[in-house]
Amino acid sequence: MASAVPMKAPICLVENSNGELTVNQQALQMLASITKPVVVVAIVGLYRTGKSYLMNRLAGKNKGFSLGSTVQSHTKGIWMWCVPHPSKADHVLVLLDTEGLGDVEKGDSKNDSWIFALAILLSSTFVYNSMNTINQQALEQMQYVTELTELIKVKSSPNAVGEDSAEFVGFFPDFVWTVRDFTLELELHGHPITSDEYLENALKLSQGKNPKVQEANATRECIRKFFPKRKCFTFDRPTNDKSLLAHLDDVQESQMEPAFKDQADNFCSHIFSSAKSKTLNGGTMVNGNRLGKLLEIYVRTISSGDIPCLENAVSALAQIENSAAVKKAVMHYAEQMALKVDFPTETLQDLLNLHTDCEKEAISIFMKHSFKDDTHEFQGELVQTLESKKDDFIRQNEEESTKYCQAKLQDLSQTLKAAISQSTFSVPGGYQLYRKEREKIMNNYHQVPRKGVKADEVLQRFLQSLAMTEESILQTDQALTEQEKALQAEKVRREVAEQEKKLLEQQQMEMQQNMETQQRSFEENMNQLLKKVEEDKMHILEEQEKILDHKLKEQKQLLEEGFHEKAKEMEREIKDLKTKKAAESDPSSWVAPVLDVAGALLMSKLRGVKKLIGLGLTGLGIVLPFLKKS
């Protein structure tokens, strides 16, 4: 795993005690240490149907998840096993084994429903495990799928319960139905069929108004609507020796039926090669840390008696993650600046160049770890914090330069100050001697390397401190005429004026450099934001395309099965999806609004940008160049 020792055995993730669900903090800590993307495979099904055995096979072990050997349900709650992904080195495989559904000892079917719903919410591949065959009884046992729209909300709006299935398809996992102890021939109308074709045939809607038929059709419809990507595996009995069946975790490979071993290998191979990474709506990758936080939010909501809402959960997670992304980016900036800046820098521009490089990396880190920062609150916080950090580095740079220059002038002027205190220059011709000593100090000072940005200012203050002494020496020098003294005094005034002008020009130049740096910061933020928005939009469009494709296939299947009214009802959904997709595909509909809001916010954080580009520009005017790029 990314930053933790691989788990040697499963651990309880969600405890189910007296009908109450609680999250195990030790398991959360384990998830928090996983920084790599996760592939989450959850298995559900009736108790004592061999779910745990399949999960142990996926973990590459015989033992791990408790199999049990009696009619009593063995797994309670949800157990987790995190193992390195066998074929994706940059991923972690998170296996979730759930307690058996329909346990007569529980007596509360609502508890089963929540376990089922949590498995859906957490997984990227959802495995439903059943026995013998996919028949009417098996479909009735899958009743939990028909309750999902009552147990889960996608949107936070009050009328979100019972939402359109298209909303759910965007985040539901892939579906795998595993049929254990399957003894039938895979044959239909005298022709051999695949296990996938067997599942699709079992999911065909039946004609008739009988309540049992309607109930079975409801389950079929929900599976077809919610899980566009479906797969089926049928398994023979592991062994015909009944004594071995009770202790499968101790059974050697050689003692199992060859057909069962091949089927189990095919199942594992499919999961390893085809199970997708867990993502949030819009393509945001989920790592272990995010998965744990989502679980906490879901269980807390369920415990409060409310219905888990995807939109709210993702928003809550985004708040946590975006705040952490800001801290991560700022920390990187501070560390890199501390490594690269050698105080004092020769010029302010040298420091600002380093700032620009480190800021670019920091923005990139923020963009990588943040998501759904729709109001750009956190990006604005990052910009403001980096601007403050930059100011701190500028201030430190100035302080280091001042301290260094003052120390150098202190050393260079010791002879001069000693001569002044000893009245060495209070003689005829003393002023010229003083000027010569003064010029010597200035020449030596100019030769000192790496004085930094405050070199001229410190020198000016030093010369100002000598001004009264110099005037006194000049006026008491009897070797100079009154006219010569007046000329010398004028010369000194010109020197002071030129020095002040030079300092003013330097300050103006540094102010301009700082504003230009803010402009580069603004452009870098906008460019990286535009790239991220485009990537996010691409993921959304891909999801919409999949949903639309699924709806069209489902409509075609309904027509083939003779359900013309249902197919006609679906036409409205398809039309709405096409309209929505067409609108989302037009960059002008989303690039300008996003960058307009972001541009105005970032300008408020970077005060110098307004001064540089002109106060008269509106937010829209700022984003026009970016629109042209897109």
Q: What residues make up the domain containing 69? A: 11-274+282-308
Q: Do the domain assignments include residue 364?
A: no
Q: Do the domain assignments include residue 332?
A: no
Rounded CA-CA distance 33/3 in Å is 6
- What total number of domains does the chain contain? 2
Q: Do the domain assignments include residue 350?
A: no
We report the CATH number of the domain holding residue 95 as: 3.40.50.300
Q: Do the domain assignments include residue 315?
A: no
| Residue 258 CB partners (closer than 8 Å, separation 6+) | none
Q: Do the domain assignments include residue 415?
A: no
Q: What is the pLDDT of residue 319?
A: 93
Rounded CA-CA distance 380/375 in Å is 9
CB-CB neighbours of 615 under 10 Å: 6
pLDDT by 10-residue block (mean), the chain, 630 residues: 63 86 93 94 83 88 63 65 92 91 59 88 94 84 82 70 62 92 86 93 87 83 89 88 59 75 93 94 88 94 87 90 96 97 95 97 95 91 95 97 97 95 91 93 95 95 92 86 84 85 90 91 90 86 84 87 85 84 76 78 75 45 46
Q: What is the pLDDT of residue 13?
A: 94
Q: What is the pLDDT of residue 574?
A: 86
Rounded CA-CA distance 423/412 in Å is 19
Q: Do the domain assignments include residue 579?
A: yes
Q: Do the domain assignments include residue 213?
A: yes
Q: 3-state DSSP call for residue 23?
A: strand
Q: What is the pLDDT of residue 357?
A: 97
| Residue 452 CB partners (closer than 8 Å, separation 6+) | 343, 344, 345, 346, 397, 398, 400, 401, 404, 405
Q: Do the domain assignments include residue 384?
A: no
Q: What is the pLDDT of residue 594?
A: 78
CA dihedral 442, 445, 451, 457 (to 10 degrees): -20
Give the single-character DSSP code of 547.
Answer: H
Domain end residue (candidates: 308, 324, 357)? 308
Q: Which amino acid is at 487?
A: L
* Beta carbons of 121 and 298 less than 8 angstroms apart: yes
